[in-house]
Structure 1
Amino acid sequence: MIKVLDNAFYYLDNFHQVLTWIGDRYDDLLTTEERDFITGFPTLPQASRALLVRMVMRKGTLFRASKLAYAEIGSAHEAARPLAALGLIEEDPLLDLEQLFDLLQKPEIGKIFQLAPYLRQLRKSEQLEALREQYDGQHRFSNWYENSGDHVYSHLTQQLCDRLRLIFFGNYHQDWTEFVLSDLGIYQYEKVAFSPAARGFRSRRDIDDFLMLHQCHERFVDGEDPAGVIRDLPPCSDDNEWLRSRRDKLTFTIAQHVEKLADWKAAHALYAGCHYPGARARAIRVLEKDEQPREAFDLLQVALQQPESEAERQQLLRMAPRLARKLGHAKLPRTPLAQALRIDLSLPPPQEPSYVEFVVRDHLARDDAPVYYVENSLINSLFGLLCWDAVFCPIPGAFFHPYHRGPADLHSADFQRRRAQQFADCLAQLDGDQYRATILANYAAKTGIQSPFLYWEALDEDLIGLALDCIPPLHLKRAFERILLDIKANRSGFPDLIQFWPAERRYNMIEVKGPGDRLQDNQLRWIEYCATHQMPISVCYLQWAA
């Protein structure tokens, strides 16, 4: 149930919580500016503090007092005075024409610039272009718009507050709305017991490296020369795998861009120095594109001896025959892959637009053999419910604030190894009957709590009950073991449908392909794995009947 917040200053209380949390746990890593803000902010009047936090939580750094109308704050202009006195905001800042246009409404623009009737009919962007050459300087708002009866403020602490948010969350994708959504009961988080010493950043260098990586990412997204961005990437500490993986991911993304530009040598250099999953396979492919089949084949042979993942092995085996042929080698023998059963259907098109998966689901469903559209939701959720305690085990570096959707190291190479005993204990329940009680108990106790494996909206007691009745525990164990081998890659690629025969206590997973559609690589890998381990799986090819 969604709660109603009675405290008008809930957002201010949340902001104070962040400052207190950071001050208690990160004081030795803070700059003088950050420490002074944390200690000085609580001394401001409540209305002034609330106004600054309202600015922090809104988009941009320029605000009109008339747009900062909050009942609990009262007069924004009065609340702004102490902030301006401390240099936290600037009143009546210098604005260029574009900044001014962002603050004004069209009638105000027409009034200030006394626009001719035909200009008043244009869109704001067109009005801006028409006036840009004539007004290319900066002026204070009060000079641009005399007698407006309004005030404009420039928020000067946005970067500082963004840094504090980063220090608290350990990332930039979570923001201040997390608190509100949690207060309202929309998001619920597992309560993990971690020590006061638990924190996401271990040194100031970690914080600065993260900031630099973020800036480099933004520069690349904005279209800056990739060479300059690469040159400015921080090296990152060897003992911080989390930051190094972020660096490798950005390097891989830039390498893909350079590859699309057909700069083979630059792309190969980037891939070769990158440890992000898939980089080695791309390096081989780039060598092939650069007419260096011998070098590509030699690197492929090395990679095949110890593939980094099933995905890389799949790519290598796909490239190997082509490279061997280019070098005049004998045709390589193909290793037969385990296959899924094939279902061919020819059905009339639905009268109303519908997904092919739903058409097949409804066609195959029987009273005694229901069919569910589950895709990645069911097996991941059963895994998450059985292994809840292992996933949320409070080991060092995994949790460091109360708003984690999952462990911070979820995609780290040593995620499973660091929790090996906990996962072993969870999976051992599948050797007996305890797994059923654990899954059902966690479903009852944890429903709605954020987890990287749970798809709550796709679950209900009937579906879970059918799955536990019809899927043998050995099959669940095999699926869960594969998820743990490569969490990032193996949480996807599951078949679209699952059909249960409760009376016979059996099931079948069904991947659906419509006309012209074909299996994706991650789907092929799951199909081969399931078929190899005698887990019932089919591929249904649907054609529309004429």
Structure 2
Amino acid sequence: MIAHSVEDPFYYLHNFRQVLAWVELRYVDLLEDEEQAFIRGFTDLPQTSQALLVRMVMRKGELFRTDRLAYAEIGCTHAALAPLLVRGWVCDDAPLSVEQLGVLLRKDELALGFSHLLKQPRAAKSQLLSELAELQLLPRPLAEWLPGFPVAIVHWRLQALCDRLRLLFFGNLYQDWSEFVLADMGLLRFEQVAFCADSRALRQRSEVALAMALHQCAEQLEAGAPPAQLLGTLQGLQAENPWLERRRSRLLFQVGQQCERLADWPLALAVYQDCGHAESRIRQVRVHERSEQWQAAFELASQMAAAPANALEAQACERMVPRLMRKLGGPPQPRRRARAVSTLELELPRELASLGVERAVRQHLLEGGGEVHYVENTLFNSLFGLLCWEAVFAPIPGAFFHPFQSAPQDLHDADFQLRRQAQFDRCIEQLADGSYRQVIPERFTTKYGLQSPFVVWQVLTPALLEQALHCLPPAHLQACFLRLLQDIRNNRTGMPDLIQFWPEQGRYRMIEVKGPGDRLQDNQLRWLAFCEQHGLPVEVCHVRWREAA
């Protein structure tokens, strides 16, 4: 992609043209006649009309006042609109409801235009709209509502089509045109990955329709649509595309959570049973429990305990099975106790509380010597990302399909590591032969600032990097990196808050900080157990505040 300076007044138009060219080149076999006609027709437009069209695409909504479509580089709005009106891409006489007028018109314009219908034309705008809504007036064009109104209201009619083109380019609808602007400004920089013929997010036209339908369902869920209504759509949306199936599973899981909030236990259970989400079986047990179906809950929890699908299930079963056995009248079942973790008890002055408990502990530890950093999940993830950069950004077919990706599309797929096994093996081998001590700093320099799913540049300073490479044994790094690869989504969080280095001695320790009333979360407990198992030095610091004398 060619970068365009935001100092160019038509920078946004150049970016839109690049999207059209990219989509036409890589997705021509998926484009419908209407979309192909739009791309051809757009090219034939005068530049000012192209620019005005893109301005509307980038703005929110589909209805615009012409006096608010004034841009210096475009000039006369009406002249730029004319070719769009001829093509029917924009309409200037669309029927408008009172609600739509309420969004587009100012209070004084409403009061003047509808004075013959209003009882209190000087009332607040919200009250004016309430009065008009009570009249149940049918939609009509602006010229019929307000004859002689000095500006027009135009309806941009191809937003759905442009959303489909954006979907084809990005592979999703959560990224938008601002990605180009941020890249042009240098605020976002991305690794350049070679694209091949298989570098496409969507491979069939049916997947385009499916992706749009899933997006609409997500919007409806956020707007509070009834779960049953959403399920009627979601249950008919299935695809072999892994990205789309993950999206569908996440949506189903969210619908199930909404059913739980509504205490609709049968529907929640049905949703979770149809959901491939990693926590769906855990939620099924909880639904059985909340609806007091103890036997069903126990049977499913026992099945999970016998063959947990992931670490989340294994940990959940340790709590659920004993609890359910008690509910069924069985003998008390001792819970397996986690290995004892070293603890550090601190009583700190109350005035340090304003720093936050982690930074307060950091300040206290600095007084005792060594270097202390507040890193939480960033340090080990960043070291992994630097060492394994080439594996993460390997041009695997289907992993990268546009130039604004900060991570491969299959990052959370079960076969993510397997598809790059040779690359990851070479990276991990550098821990054994010692070359990682050169590779990681070099990559820190050459890749600095590029978007990464693992590297947090604002935390990983040169000093922190130097101390980490000096004090962290390669065996400890390898153990952490392999655990991360086992389940990237769940294992990249829960790491201790602080890390303390003693460079002169070449040693370190990690500290998980807990303030008064705070307790360890499940992902933190899993990391602490892992550290104990592999001999990584870690402590849990419990903080109390000391009041001033």
Q: TM-score range by the shorter chain?
A: over 0.9
Find the aligned partners of 2:105 and 2:264 in 1 and give their Cα distance.
46
Residue 390 (structure 1) aligns with: 391
Secondary structure in structure 2 of the residue aligned to 1:353:
helix
1:475 aligns with 2:476: yes
Aligned length: 545
Deviations 1:137-168 (A, max 9, x none): 22322333343332221100011101110111
- What residue ranges of structure 2 are gaps of 5+ in the alignment? none
Alpha-carbon distance, 1:412 to partner: 1.3
Mapping 1:404-415, distance limit 5 Å: 404-415=405-416
Mapping 1:425-504, distance limit 5 Å: 425-504=426-505
Deviations 1:458-486 (A, max 9, x none): 12100111111111111111111111111
Residue 305 (structure 1) aligns with: 306
Q: Which amino acid letter does the alignment assign opposite residue 300 of structure 1? A: A
Residue 46 (structure 1) aligns with: 47
1:521 aligns with 2:522: yes
Once the two structures are overlaid, the 10-residue window that deviates more, 387-396 or 430-439, is 430-439
Find the aligned partners of 2:4 and 2:214 in 1 and give their Cα distance.
38
Residue 23 (structure 1) aligns with: 24
Residue 205 (structure 1) aligns with: 206
Alpha-carbon distance, 1:220 to partner: 2.5
1:80 aligns with 2:81: yes
Mapping 1:239-278, distance limit 5 Å: 239-278=240-279
Secondary structure in structure 2 of the residue aligned to 1:40:
helix
Asked if 2 retains the 8 angstrom alpha-carbon contact of 1:495 and 1:512, the reply is yes
Find the aligned partners of 1:297 and 1:383 in 2 and give their Cα distance.
40
Find the aligned partners of 1:505 and 1:366 in 2 and give their Cα distance.
19
Residue 287 (structure 1) aligns with: 288
Alpha-carbon distance, 1:436 to partner: 1.6
TM normalised by structure 1 equals: 0.95
Asked if 2 retains the 8 angstrom alpha-carbon contact of 1:209 and 1:234, the reply is no
Asked if 2 retains the 8 angstrom alpha-carbon contact of 1:350 and 1:359, the reply is no
Alpha-carbon distance, 1:368 to partner: 4.0
Deviations 1:392-422 (A, max 9, x none): 0110110011110110111112111111221
Deviations 1:93-123 (A, max 9, x none): 2211221121122332333234999956644
Secondary structure in structure 1 of the residue aligned to 2:358:
helix
Mapping 1:37-116, distance limit 5 Å: 37-114=38-115
Residue 511 (structure 1) aligns with: 512
Q: Which amino acid letter does the alignment assign opposite residue 195 of structure 1? A: C
Once the two structures are overlaid, the 10-residue window that deviates more, 232-241 or 388-397, is 232-241
Residue 345 (structure 1) aligns with: 346
Asked if 1 retains the 8 angstrom alpha-carbon contact of 2:382 and 2:456, the reply is yes
Secondary structure in structure 1 of the residue aligned to 2:527:
helix
Residue 35 (structure 1) aligns with: 36
Asked if 1 retains the 8 angstrom alpha-carbon contact of 2:4 and 2:11, the reply is no
Residue 148 (structure 1) aligns with: 149
Asked if 1 retains the 8 angstrom alpha-carbon contact of 2:118 and 2:132, the reply is no
Asked if 1 retains the 8 angstrom alpha-carbon contact of 2:376 and 2:497, the reply is yes
Secondary structure in structure 2 of the residue aligned to 1:153:
strand
Find the aligned partners of 1:106 and 1:448 in 2 and give their Cα distance.
47
Asked if 1 retains the 8 angstrom alpha-carbon contact of 2:198 and 2:398, the reply is no
Residue 8 (structure 1) aligns with: 9
TM normalised by structure 2 equals: 0.95
Residue 137 (structure 2) aligns with: 136
Secondary structure in structure 2 of the residue aligned to 1:458:
coil
Find the aligned partners of 1:146 and 1:215 in 2 and give their Cα distance.
37
Change (3 A) 1:62 1:520: same
Mapping 1:302-341, distance limit 5 Å: 302-341=303-342
C-alpha RMSD over aligned residues: 2.1
Asked if 2 retains the 8 angstrom alpha-carbon contact of 1:5 and 1:184, the reply is yes
Secondary structure in structure 2 of the residue aligned to 1:345:
strand
Alpha-carbon distance, 1:279 to partner: 0.5
Once the two structures are overlaid, the 10-residue window that deviates more, 262-271 or 450-459, is 262-271
Once the two structures are overlaid, the 10-residue window that deviates more, 329-338 or 523-532, is 329-338
Asked if 1 retains the 8 angstrom alpha-carbon contact of 2:357 and 2:515, the reply is yes
Find the aligned partners of 1:157 and 1:205 in 2 and give their Cα distance.
20
Asked if 1 retains the 8 angstrom alpha-carbon contact of 2:93 and 2:143, the reply is yes
Find the aligned partners of 1:99 and 1:262 in 2 and give their Cα distance.
36
Find the aligned partners of 1:432 and 1:57 in 2 and give their Cα distance.
51
Asked if 1 retains the 8 angstrom alpha-carbon contact of 2:6 and 2:181, the reply is no
1:177 aligns with 2:182: no
Find the aligned partners of 1:520 and 1:356 in 2 and give their Cα distance.
16
Alpha-carbon distance, 1:3 to partner: 9.2
Q: Which amino acid letter does the alignment assign opposite residue 185 of structure 1? A: G
Q: Which amino acid letter does the alignment assign opposite residue 320 of structure 2? A: M
Alpha-carbon distance, 1:352 to partner: 7.5
Find the aligned partners of 2:121 and 2:422 in 1 and give their Cα distance.
71
Q: Which amino acid letter does the alignment assign opposite residue 424 of structure 1? A: D
Asked if 2 retains the 8 angstrom alpha-carbon contact of 1:77 and 1:151, the reply is no
Change (3 A) 1:117 1:98: closer
Deviations 1:310-342 (A, max 9, x none): 111111111010112223333334333223211
Residue 167 (structure 1) aligns with: 168
Asked if 2 retains the 8 angstrom alpha-carbon contact of 1:189 and 1:450, the reply is yes
Once the two structures are overlaid, the 10-residue window that deviates more, 197-206 or 136-145, is 136-145
Percent of aligned pairs sharing the same letter: 47
Change (3 A) 1:117 1:327: closer
Find the aligned partners of 2:197 and 2:49 in 1 and give their Cα distance.
30
Secondary structure in structure 2 of the residue aligned to 1:350:
helix
Asked if 2 retains the 8 angstrom alpha-carbon contact of 1:213 and 1:234, the reply is no
1:362 aligns with 2:363: yes
Q: Which amino acid letter does the alignment assign opposite residue 301 of structure 2? A: L
1:125 aligns with 2:132: no
Asked if 2 retains the 8 angstrom alpha-carbon contact of 1:385 and 1:454, the reply is yes
Find the aligned partners of 2:8 and 2:197 in 1 and give their Cα distance.
28
Find the aligned partners of 2:440 and 2:425 in 1 and give their Cα distance.
16
Find the aligned partners of 1:107 and 1:287 in 2 and give their Cα distance.
57
Alpha-carbon distance, 1:4 to partner: 5.2
Asked if 1 retains the 8 angstrom alpha-carbon contact of 2:199 and 2:400, the reply is yes
Deviations 1:417-452 (A, max 9, x none): 111221111111111211121111111011111111
Find the aligned partners of 1:500 and 1:74 in 2 and give their Cα distance.
62
Deviations 1:284-310 (A, max 9, x none): 222233333222222222212221211
Change (3 A) 1:290 1:113: closer
Secondary structure in structure 1 of the residue aligned to 2:254:
helix
Once the two structures are overlaid, the 10-residue window that deviates more, 400-409 or 128-137, is 128-137
Find the aligned partners of 1:320 and 1:88 in 2 and give their Cα distance.
61
- What residue ranges of structure 1 are gaps of 5+ in the alignment? none
Asked if 2 retains the 8 angstrom alpha-carbon contact of 1:212 and 1:234, the reply is no
Alpha-carbon distance, 1:358 to partner: 1.0
Alpha-carbon distance, 1:238 to partner: 5.5
Find the aligned partners of 1:124 and 1:430 in 2 and give their Cα distance.
67
